[in-house]
């Protein structure tokens, strides 16, 4: 049951990050198309920052799971958040 809850938390963390990325791109893109904003962010070198902004919704999911005492799901969200942080760090290096 613990592995299942961790995977559920990881899935919710990925979905929350994707939704957060979509909202951040729409907010900062000033009405541009989502794909256009992502391409422009990649060209201008701030795609990693945009992905990191998307991870803010993981904070919300994490605290919801902590409040409901679903610690293993919160652990899955935390794992995805750390993965995103490492990914953006490596992405920025190259």
Q: What is the pTM assigned to this prediction? A: 0.86
Burial of 43 per CB tally in 10 Å (0-12, 13-18, 19+): exposed
Mean pLDDT by 10 residues, the chain (94 residues): 92 95 87 86 86 90 95 95 91 78
Q: What is the pLDDT of residue 60?
A: 94
């Amino acid at each position: 049951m613990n592995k299942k809850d961790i995977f559920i938390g990881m899935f919710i963390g990925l979905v929350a990050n994707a939704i957060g990325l979509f909202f951040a791109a729409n907010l900062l893109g000033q009405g541009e198309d989502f794909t256009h904003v992502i391409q422009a962010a990649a060209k201008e070198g701030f795609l990693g920052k945009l992905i990191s902004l998307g991870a803010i919704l993981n904070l919300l999911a994490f605290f919801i799971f902590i409040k409901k005492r679903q610690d293993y799901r919160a652990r899955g969200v935390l794992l995805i958040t750390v993965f995103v942080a490492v990914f953006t760090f490596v992405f920025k290096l190259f």
